[in-house]
Every structure is written in C-alpha cells, then in structure tokens.
Amino acid sequence: MVASGNRVLELDGITKSFGGVRAVDGASFHVDGGEVVCLLGDNGAGKSTLVKIITGVHTPDSGQMSINGELIKRWNPARARDAGVQTVFQDRSLAGRQTVARNIFMGRELTTRFGLIDDKRQEAEAEALLRGVGFTSKALSARSEVLNLSGGERQGIAIARAMHFAARLLILDEPTESMSLTQIRLTLGFTRAARDRGIAVLLISHNIADAYAVGDRFLVLDRGRVLETFHKSEISEGELVRFMEHANADSAGTGSRTTSERQTTQESSA
Amino acid sequence: MMATTRFAKAPAPAEPARRGPGGRQFFRTHRELTSAATFFVAMLGVFALANPGVWLRGDIFAAVATTMPQLMILSVALVFVVALGEIDLSFPSIITLGSLVFASAATAGIQPSVAVLLALLAGLGAGLLNGVLVAYLGLSSFVTTLGMNFFWAGLINILSNGSGKPLQFMSGTAEFNAFVGTVFGIPVQLFWGLAAAAIGGLLFSKHKFGAYVRFAGDNREAAAQLAVPVRAIKVASFSYVGLSAGLVGVIVTLVNVNFYPNVGAGLLLPALAGVFVGGTPMFGGVGTIAGAAIGAITISFINVGIITSGLSGFWTDFVYGIVIVLSLGVHRIAERFSFRPRTGRNKREPAAVTPAA
C-alpha cells in the first residue's frame, strides 16, 4: 500500500469474534490527518468493536493495524493514549460520583511537586475547557459531580476531554446521540475544528445527516466489513440515506443474524 | 401555564452560586464525614447523659486509645477496598499471621525490629495474594477473602499447634515502647493510628492511587478505557489492607505481650463497622478516610459507653447493632439533604444543554 505521509490510521483485514460471532470480519480502511472519516452502519455492523480495537480495549484475532505508519504489535489503552489516540466512547467513559475535573484529567493528572493531584489547577483548566466547548451554565462547574449532569452535559465533558488530549487521532462514537440541536451544532463545530488542526477524525454515527454535515469520506460497514466507501463529492446526503436503507434492508433479510447481532452488541459493550 | 412558570424561573439559577455559602459547600463535599461526626457526638451525648461524671475523667479516653488505633488502621485501609466496590474478610487471619510471624521470629532470637519487618512482609504478601486472586483470576472478593480467612486461620492453627507464645521478654524493649509504650500518658499506638489515617487520607483524596481507586470503583469500564491500570490498583488495595493487618498484628501482640491463635478474629466486624459507620457506602466510587477514622472511634467508644452506663457486657452486641443501623440512616438523610438543592436546580435548568428527547 502506498502510505501517504499523513496517514494516521490504517487497518488491514481486521477480524474479531466473540464466542463464535464475527463482530468484525476483515475490515480494511485508513484515516489521514486533516480528514473526517465517518463509519456508518446499522446496529451490530461492528462499529463499536472496531473502535475498541483501535483504542486497545480489544485485541483483534487477525489483521494488521498501523498508527502513524508504525505497525502495532502489543496494543493497549495506555499505548493508544500515548500515541495520541483519543476517543469519546458511546458510554462517555465518565465516572458519575467523581467531579468533572477529576473525570477530565483521569489518567493524566496534573500533579504538584510532591506527586499529589493539583486539584486547583485541574479545576481551573477544566473550567476553561468547558467554556471552550460552549458551556455557559453556571450550575455546571468543574467541581460538579457527573451524576448530576444531563446527557448533553456529559457528552460535552467527554468531548472537551478528548479534544484537549487528542494529538493525532480523535475517535467520536455516536457523538450527537441524545443531544439538543444547539449541542449538536457545537459538537460538529468541534469536529471540524479538530480536522482543521490536522487531526485525523473517525466519526461513528447512526445519524447520517450529522455525519454528512462534517464528513469527508463515508465508509458503510455491514456485518463487520466495509461494504462501500464514498467521497463527499461522489454522493449527496439523500443518496447516502437511500444507500444505507438499501443495505439495511438487504441484511435484515438474513434470518438468524438478528440474534447473533444482539449478542455481539451486548458483548462489545459489556 | 406550566411552561410559562418554568420559563419565568429559568434565568434565576444563573446567578445563585455554584459554590453556596461556605458551610453548605463544606457539608456537600464532606457530607459523609459531617454526618459521621454528628452521629458520634450524639452517641457520646447519650452515654454522657447516662453517667455524666465518668466522662470528665481522662482515664476513659486512655482506655479507648489502647485498642482504638488498631481499628482505625484497619478501617482506613478497608476504605480503599470498599471504594473499589470490593470487600476484604480475610484481614482478621492476616492480623493473626502477622502476630505469629512476629512472635515466632522474636522468640527465635531474631532482632525485634527485623521481626516487625517480617510480620509486615507477611501481611503484605497475604494481601498481595488476595489482590492477585481477585484482580487477575476475576474471583469474587467476598468469597475469595472469606476462603483466605479460613485458610490462614487453619494454617496458623496447624503451625502453632493451637497454642500461644508468651512474649513477656519484649516488655520494655525499644520496639515495645515504639508501638505500645506511652508518651505523656498517651498510648503510642494512638499516634500510629492517627498517622495511618493521615497517610490514608492523603493517598485517598490527593494521590493518583486514591483517585484511581474511586474512579475504578465508580465505573470500571470507563477506567479501563482511560488507561487506568484497574488490576494493579486492585492488587495494591488488597496489599494495603494486608500490610495494615500485619502492622495491627504486631501492635496487638505487643499490647497482649502474647501471641494467641485467634487474636485477630474479634476485629472483623468492628473494623468493617468502622468503615460503614464512617459513611463509606458499599456501592463503590465513594469513600471517606476521615469518616472511617471517626467510625473506628465511634465503635471503640461503644464498649466503654456501655460499661459507664452501668449496663452489663451482654448489651454490647445489641448496642453495636443499633449504632450501625442508625448511623446508616443518618448518612442516608444527610445524602438526601445535601442532594436536594442540586437536583432542584438542575430540574429548573433550561434548555441550554439538555438532551433532545
């Protein structure tokens, strides 16, 4: 393969099964710096499993993955983080009974000279980040417990965290789910901002309208494989929606898949 | 009508501070500690009413300070395991193990300070084993540590033949004075207890270790996604309890100037009660070291309170039961009280960042 100098992520023939169910079945694609690639697909298409492979939560059964042109051997969340990969997971990866600041800096604490957590600095930076993401409500502070926040607020915090630390690759898993229109606009704005800074963005979504609004390329995933790839110039939003409906209708016809699909979704989110 | 009311109220919450009046903010962030302290004072008040004169004498407090620190050291360490959403039931036998190792080494003529070190290492090792079994084999901590409690107790019985070891020769040695001597009439172990609480408090609220413990206990999946070493944190927490149990093993052995094969057994329920009376809940993610210290003090005063009130020793368990259940009730009320304003405010919060239905 001809790797462009800017190739951040490259997957080649990635396979992953859970108890006999193939969640990802030979997926190959790449994401370059400064582009937004959207992974589209129905429930159980393997989107979440792929995300967890790229971020080191799951190890693939076979296939190759390179980050920044380097072939990945032993991959785990800590290495992914160190390689500049940041992810906003579908479940937002927030701990409800901890403060917003502690959540934002979890695993990357700012410490004092004595190795203790510098809560003051973390809170100040967290406040700045929250304002940067567009939070204006004074009821939400860096010291709020996440449990007391709305779904949109939680999403904002997860995005603020990923934006703050993403060096090379930003993965957004269903970023606009359960968000108000204002919040969606902000989220998409941030996605563009990340791309304009040269970050490679991989966006996973059910919502074709949201994906089309920011995406440069669209990969349609079906049963763990990349079914089709479109550049934005090749397809209109309407055509993309129709293509997805068609693909979904096709795969819905294959009898036993629905149950195995559910298992996969459950396992990959367990 | 409804909508108008809500809309009219909407702008109001912008101003009312996220940081309420100082006292209320303190109460919110330290609500478990505050309610534990309130409960303790109330309990002392009841005991004092029953026999006011006794409580003006210092010897009662000195008596409590002889045994209380052991509970404090244990309760403090247990907070880490409980905040992780786990439990340790094996520490009583680890205490006895530490005691046996210390007594055997000292009796065998090994330098007492080395004997102390060996006891601490034995405790640490036993805790480490618990941690590895729970974190890496994925065993239930409840069942695993229950089993390990039997395992160590049985092994100690086999090794010691069920008989004790007198250690009168230790009395008055430098090691004896360092752990259980007195300074200005204050038992030295009180300083060990307070030091353990201070170190535990710092670790729990200001160090990465404590932050990871709480985060992993709160949302294990999220912790793993954020590259928090969840397994290592579990192993470290169980090891911490083991090490603390080893230390308590040394202290109780020196207090009794004797090893006997079930020395730790009586500490299981009081030490755990200290954690929960102190306000650390069972569901993980939350805990309070200061609360656990107060919880250990509360539990330690029950015995004395019963005796000074003129009740017989048969009342002890009965009062323990009342104290534990009542204190949980107090914590629950405090939690509701401290949550109410926040939830209320959130409900009134307008559409700025609420999710689309």
B258-287 per-position pLDDT tens digit? 999 999 999 999 999 999 999 999 999 999
Hey, are the CB atoms on A181 and B352 less than 8 Å from each other?
Answer: no
- Segments of chain A assigned to CATH 3.40.50.300: 1-84+168-270
pLDDT at residue B250 greater than cutoff 50: yes
Of the candidates B121, B107, B112, B114, the one whose C-alpha atom is nearest the C-alpha of residue B245 is: B121
Hey, are the CB atoms on B286 and A182 less than 8 Å from each other?
Answer: no
Residue A10 and residue A176 in contact, taking contact as beta carbons nearer than 8 Å: no
Beta bridge partners of B186: B183
Q: Report the distance separating Cα A82 and Cα A76, nearest Å.
A: 10
Share of chain A above pLDDT 90, in %: 36
Q: What is the ipTM of this complex?
A: 0.80
Q: Report the distance separating Cα A221 and Cα B24, nearest Å.
A: 52
User: Which residue on chain A is closest to B356 by alpha carbon?
Assistant: A180
Mean pLDDT of chain B: 86
Residue B212 and residue B223 in contact, taking contact as beta carbons nearer than 8 Å: yes
Residues of chain A neighbouring B339 (CB-CB closer than 8 A): 148
Of the residues A79, A97, A145, the best mutation for testing chain B's interface (the one with the most B CB atoms within 10 Å of its CB) is: A97
Least-confidence region, from A159-163, A198-202, B291-295, B326-330: A159-163
Hey, are the CB atoms on B206 and A116 less than 8 Å from each other?
Answer: yes
pLDDT at residue A144 greater than cutoff 60: yes
User: Which residue on chain B is closest to A180 by alpha carbon?
Assistant: B356
User: Which residue on chain B is closest to A152 by alpha carbon?
Assistant: B355
- The partner residue sitting opposite A152, judged by closest CB among B14, B225, B355, is B355
3-state secondary structure of B308: helix
Q: Report the distance separating Cα A81 and Cα B230, nearest Å.
A: 16
Residues A27-51 as b/e (b if ≥16 CB within 10 A, e otherwise) read bebbbbbbbbbbbbbbebbbbbbbb
> What local confidence, expressed as pLDDT, does residue B204 receive?
96
Beta bridge partners of A37: A202, A217
Residues of chain A neighbouring B354 (CB-CB closer than 8 A): 150-152, 180
Two tokens at B273? 């009660």
Residue A200 and residue A34 in contact, taking contact as beta carbons nearer than 8 Å: yes
Q: Report the distance separating Cα B246 and Cα B251, nearest Å.
A: 9
Mean pLDDT across A104-125: 92
Two tokens at B198? 């201070």
**Helices marked H in chain B:** 2-9, 22-29, 31-50, 58-83, 91-107, 112-136, 141-160, 174-180, 189-206, 208-218, 220-225, 230-256, 268-277, 289-308, 316-348
Residue A203 and residue A211 in contact, taking contact as beta carbons nearer than 8 Å: yes
Q: Does domain A1-84+168-270 have CATH number 1.10.10.10?
A: no
> What local confidence, expressed as pLDDT, does residue A62 receive?
92
pLDDT band at B1 (very low <50, low <70, confident <90, very high): very low
Burial class (CB in 10 A: 0-12, 13-18, 19+), A96: middle
Residues A105-127 as b/e (b if ≥16 CB within 10 A, e otherwise) read bbbebbeeeeebbbbeebbebbb
3-state secondary structure of B320: helix
Share of chain A above pLDDT 70, in %: 89
> What local confidence, expressed as pLDDT, does residue B348 receive?
37
Helix (H) or strand (E) holding A258: helix A257-269
Two tokens at B127? 């805790």
Cβ neighbours of A6 (radius 10 Å): 14
Topology, domain B40-329: ABC transporter involved in vitamin B12 uptake, BtuC (1.10.3470)
Q: Report the distance separating Cα B64 and Cα B76, nearest Å.
A: 18
Least-confidence region, from B9-13, B44-48, B193-197: B9-13
Residues of chain A neighbouring B356 (CB-CB closer than 8 A): 178-181, 183-184
pLDDT at residue B159 greater than cutoff 90: yes
**Stretch 64-123 of chain A: residues touching chain B, C-beta under 8 Å:** 76-78, 80-81, 87, 89, 91-98, 102, 106-107, 109, 111, 115-117, 119
Hey, are the CB atoms on B219 and A87 less than 8 Å from each other?
Answer: no
Of the candidates B32, B29, B81, B41, the one whose C-alpha atom is nearest the C-alpha of residue B217 is: B81
Q: Report the distance separating Cα B235 and Cα B93, nearest Å.
A: 18
**Stretch 162-201 of chain A: residues touching chain B, C-beta under 8 Å:** 178-184
Residues B175-195 as b/e (b if ≥16 CB within 10 A, e otherwise) read bbeebbbeeeeebbbbebbee
Place of tokens 């109780």: B252
The contacts of residue B304 (CB under 8 Å, 6+ apart) are B47, B60, B63, B64
3-state secondary structure of A240: helix
The phi and psi torsions of B238 (rounded to 5 degrees) equal -65, -35
User: Which residue on chain A is closest to B214 by alpha carbon?
Assistant: A98
User: Which residue on chain B is closest to A109 by alpha carbon?
Assistant: B208
> What local confidence, expressed as pLDDT, does residue A4 receive?
52
